[in-house]
Amino acid sequence: MLTKRQQLILWSIIDDYIVSAEPVGSRTLSKKEDIQFSAATIRNEMADLEEMGFLEQPHTSAGRIPSQKGYRFYVDHLLKPYMWTQQEVILLHELHQQKVDRAEKVFEHASILLSRFTNYMTFVLGPKMSESKLRHFQVIPLLDRTVVSILVTDQGDVHQQRLTMPEGISSDVMGKLVNFINHHLSGMPLQNLKKAIENELKDELILYVERYDRVSHFLDQVLFMNAQEKLFTSGANRMMDLPEFRDVDKVKSLLDLIEESDVLVKLLEPREIGVQVKIGYENHIDEIRDCSIITTSYLFNGEPVGTIGILGPTRMDYGKIIGLVDFFAKDFSKQLMNLYEIE
Amino acid sequence: MLTKRQQLILWSIIDDYIVSAEPVGSRTLSKKEDIQFSAATIRNEMADLEEMGFLEQPHTSAGRIPSQKGYRFYVDHLLKPYMWTQQEVILLHELHQQKVDRAEKVFEHASILLSRFTNYMTFVLGPKMSESKLRHFQVIPLLDRTVVSILVTDQGDVHQQRLTMPEGISSDVMGKLVNFINHHLSGMPLQNLKKAIENELKDELILYVERYDRVSHFLDQVLFMNAQEKLFTSGANRMMDLPEFRDVDKVKSLLDLIEESDVLVKLLEPREIGVQVKIGYENHIDEIRDCSIITTSYLFNGEPVGTIGILGPTRMDYGKIIGLVDFFAKDFSKQLMNLYEIE
DNA sequence: TTTTAGCACTCAGAAGAATCGAGTGCTAAC
DNA sequence: GTTAGCACTCGATTCTTCTGAGTGCTAAAA
């Protein structure tokens, strides 16, 4: 569709615009090494490219900037794989050596690291924990009727909750209940716990535990898992260094957007394998119409379970960022596996 | 030191400036109801007040704005107690009804609430948990030699950690160890655990548990509590609505400051009883030289254990904010007590 | 002695005018 | 098909003018 020369010009414009954030003119281009033809020729080609929708002109007497379609073409067809500098590789490995003892920390750490590396905003969407299974359940008394319930999953995540014991239930009965649960429900996915009790175990429980009526509500509370993924974000303030965010209102609307994290969670949700690039309005959110989001899922046991994402201006170094996100996701999967001691 | 009339004028200027954020002129003042003298008289008084350092003039042909000293005098001598509107009282109570099951949630919730109410930035510094005592300790095996250690305090906080078991230690030995700890260390403040083992229990442990040498490091890890207080902040983006933060660089330097939360923690640290007001440079931080910080501690068992703080422009409604912070801190103490079921 | 009216003066910020220059489109020659 | 040349466009920058809120000072009134 595009001639080689047009591709070269489009590529050069984007390449220039990514660092300068200024419209690129024909003269600037003609001075580049790998462009051998005159400014006039370039102007003709640029006019054509604009007509086809790959370029835009802020006003008549300005240079051209890439349009969303232009970026799309760039990402899909022109991208050259980014080469890490030796320095970057070393730094990357060094930084990744740090040990962590909880999955949450891995996410948080990765998010901060990534934003430092890219100078953009990053997200890490924790894995949906509903998949994990019950390993151990326990109720620890505190004072009077206050207790802490602890629920450990097979992945070593600990869910705690502070509760009030139902009236008239002795610690003896509670002990029985806890035993019963550990015995019958161990190894069951958290999300099925409630159903399992209601459908299969209720009758048995009633015989086994006195005053089941009083315990029932307590159980509901304890086993209610909000399996909602946790979202870690980092580096929002770095965005303010970008010329496109010299405007307080823009910054604010972006920060407000982040605060309603559900929007972002939805955006990060679809867990296809491989790196996804959504440019500008492809995200369907007005506030970030001149931002791009690059996401990729990380795997656990070969399954994509969560997402790593970067939000930056449409004018970003796609090659580098894509490489970085990919690297992180892979390294990330490894770290998770390590943490859970699975080969 | 200041005549009644000077006080009235100073008060009026601040009162006006708090809402307008614009320098206040003599004519504007003379039109106010409770000011009965002419603009010329006011000008004379203002000149005097400026000479004494209570007012400043951005430039010769502008009105006056309060200086830091002016605010100080206002807060110390002129403040009128803020009267809640009926609406506010109702809203406040409604919002505070929500139930929470973990101390962390209380902090987070309060922080968000307070920032919504004030439209400024809020901090809640969680209590130093080193005071809390061991209630229950447990080690739960996951896979191979990976375990999760769980440590429940008397206040119902749960500290978890993922660890690798030392080689050559059977689950039997581990069980003994856990029993030993629960038996001997229950009720001991977390911060003393390590010392207690080293000084008093080590000898006994060596007899009791085989291969103590291998276990020792493991214990160190498990009982290492970073008793660092957690800082919750909220509402940074609200600051961007203020005219004094129409400048991206200012916003950024503020956000950067928050990111280095140690600085803030230090600022919130001193836990005197009662509401503290630090105006502008009294905080000794350049980035917030035209912000004020209002803090107060909340109590637990009658002791100040943590801090609630608000950061807003020096030009803030001190009366209202002070009242609000005070209210929150008190209600907060109550909630904590409630949570821990202490009368 | 204190207060006030009157008036000349100041100065930041808004509005307007002039200038600059990067970049374009078009034409005509190569 | 490519390029040099040239008139033209228009945002940004700079300079200028204008405006008006607000002051300080003086002299008269209370």
B98-108 pLDDT, tens digit each = 666 666 777 88
Alpha-carbon distances of B298 from B102, B119, B307, B327, B330, rounded to whole Å? 17, 21, 6, 10, 7
Using the CA of A40, which nucleotide's C1' is the nearest one? D3
Least confidently predicted of A229-233, A282-286, B143-147, B293-297: B143-147
Structure confidence at residue B44 (pLDDT): 95
Whether chain B has a CB inside 8 Å of the CB on A40: the answer is no
Of B144, B162, B238, B244, which to mutate for an interface test with A (greatest number of A Cβ within 10 Å)? B162
Structure confidence at residue A271 (pLDDT): 66
Alpha-carbon distances of A174 from A135, A147, A247, B251, rounded to whole Å? 18, 11, 59, 53
Residue with tokens 């086993």: A223
Nucleotides of strand D within 7 Å of the protein's CB atoms: 2-5, 8-11, 20-26
Least confidently predicted of A43-57, A249-263, B65-79, B123-137: B123-137
Per-residue pLDDT of chain A (343 residues; tens, 9 = 90+): 899 999 999 999 999 999 999 999 999 999 988 888 999 999 999 999 999 999 999 999 899 999 999 999 999 999 988 888 888 888 877 766 766 666 677 788 888 889 988 999 999 988 776 577 888 898 888 777 788 888 888 877 788 887 888 887 888 888 888 888 899 889 888 888 888 888 888 888 787 777 777 788 888 877 776 556 788 899 999 999 999 998 888 999 999 998 887 788 888 876 678 899 999 999 999 999 999 999 999 887 788 888 999 999 999 999 999 999 998 888 888 877 776 665 4
Residues A122 and A238 in one domain: yes
Answer whether A296's CB lies under 8 Å from A307's CB: yes
Residues A144 and A209 in one domain: yes
Q: How many CB atoms lie within 10 A of CB B101?
A: 17
Residue with tokens 């496109």: A244
Residues B156 and B219 in one domain: yes
Residues B47 and B170 in one domain: no
- Residue A321 sits in a domain of what CATH number? 3.30.450.40
Answer whether A64's CB lies under 8 Å from A24's CB: yes
**B161 CB inside 7 Å of strand D:** no
Residues near A172 by Cβ (< 8 Å), separated by ≥ 6?
Answer: none
CA distance B108 to B100: 10
Whether chain A has a CB inside 8 Å of the CB on B212: the answer is no
Among residues of chain B, what percentage have pLDDT more than 90? 41
Of B132, B150, B256, which to mutate for an interface test with A (greatest number of A Cβ within 10 Å)? B150
Q: Chain centroid to CA A149: how far?
A: 30
Residues B12 and B101 in one domain: no
3-class DSSP state of B148: strand
Q: How many CB atoms lie within 10 A of CB A201?
A: 16
3-class DSSP state of A8: helix
**A63 CB inside 7 Å of strand C:** yes
Mean pLDDT of B181-208: 84
HSE-up of A200 (CA within 13 Å, CB side)? 8
Partner-chain contact B101 A162, CB within 8 Å: yes
Structure confidence at residue B343 (pLDDT): 41
Query: What Å value separates CA B243 and C1' C6?
Result: 36
Residues B237 and B119 in one domain: yes
Residues 229-258 of B with CB under 8 A from A: 236-237, 240-241, 245-248, 251-252, 255-256
Query: What Å value separates CA A324 and C1' D2?
Result: 42
Whether chain B has a CB inside 8 Å of the CB on A209: the answer is no
- CA-wise closest residue to B10 among B52, B38, B40: B52
Residues A171 and A305 in one domain: no
- Residue A217 sits in a domain of what CATH number? 3.30.390.60
Structure tokens belonging to residue A306: 């969560």
Burial class of residue B175 in the structure, from the number of CB atoms within 10 Å of its CB (0-12 exposed, 13-18 middle, 19+ buried): exposed
Strands A303-313 and B134-141, sheet pairing: unpaired
Report the side by side order of strands in the sheet with B146-153. B134-141, B146-153, B158-164
Residues A256 and A285 in one domain: yes
Least confidently predicted of A46-55, B177-186, B205-214: B205-214
- Which of A150-154, B165-169, B221-225, B313-317 reaches the highest mean pLDDT? B313-317
- Residue A72 sits in a domain of what CATH number? 1.10.10.10
Residues A15 and A96 in one domain: no
CA distance A269 to A126: 11
Burial class of residue B60 in the structure, from the number of CB atoms within 10 Å of its CB (0-12 exposed, 13-18 middle, 19+ buried): exposed
**In terms of residue numbers, what domain contains A280?**
86-128+229-339
- φ, ψ of residue B312 to 5 degrees: the values are -140, 180
Question: Which residue lies nearest C21, CA-to-C1' measured?
Answer: A61
Using the CB atoms, write b or e for A60-94: b if 16+ within 10 Å: eeebbbbbbbbbbbbbeebbeeeeeeeeeeeebee
Residues A140 and A122 in one domain: no
Structure confidence at residue A10 (pLDDT): 96
Name the residue among A152, A248, A342 with its Cβ closest to that of B148. Answer: A152
Strand partners, B234: B122
Structure tokens belonging to residue A192: 């099925």
Residue with tokens 């559900």: A262
Whether chain B has a CB inside 8 Å of the CB on A130: the answer is no
Structure tokens belonging to residue A139: 């109720």
Whether chain B has a CB inside 8 Å of the CB on A105: the answer is no
Provide the residue type at B180 as one letter.
F
**A60 CB inside 7 Å of strand D:** yes
Of A78, A111, A142, the one marking the end of a domain is A78
Of B18, B49, B78, the one marking the end of a domain is B78
Structure confidence at residue B208 (pLDDT): 73
Of B223, B248, B270, the one marking the end of a domain is B223
CA dihedral A95, A98, A101, A103 (to 10 degrees): 10
Q: How many CB atoms lie within 10 A of CB B24?
A: 23
Residues A236 and A333 in one domain: yes
**B191 CB inside 7 Å of strand C:** no
B237-280 pLDDT, tens digit each = 999 999 999 888 899 999 999 888 778 888 887 667 889 999 99
Partner-chain contact B162 A152, CB within 8 Å: no
Using the CA of A64, which nucleotide's C1' is the nearest one? C23
Whether chain B has a CB inside 8 Å of the CB on A135: the answer is yes
Partner-chain contact B152 A154, CB within 8 Å: no
Structure confidence at residue B280 (pLDDT): 95
Q: How many domains does chain A have?
A: 3
Angle between helices A86-96 and A103-118 (to 10 degrees): 160
Answer whether A110's CB lies under 8 Å from A328's CB: yes
Chain A: closest CA distance from residue B256 (Å): 7
Question: Which residue lies nearest D9, CA-to-C1' measured?
Answer: A61
Alpha-carbon distances of B157 from A230, B103, B104, B237, rounded to whole Å? 20, 8, 9, 31
Q: Please report which residue ranges of A151-280 form alpha helices under DSSP H.
A: 171-185, 193-196, 202-208, 212-223, 248-259, 261-268
| Residues of chain A found within 8 Å of residue B162, distances taken between Cβ atoms | 101-102, 156, 339
Burial class of residue B260 in the structure, from the number of CB atoms within 10 Å of its CB (0-12 exposed, 13-18 middle, 19+ buried): exposed
Residues A123 and A238 in one domain: yes
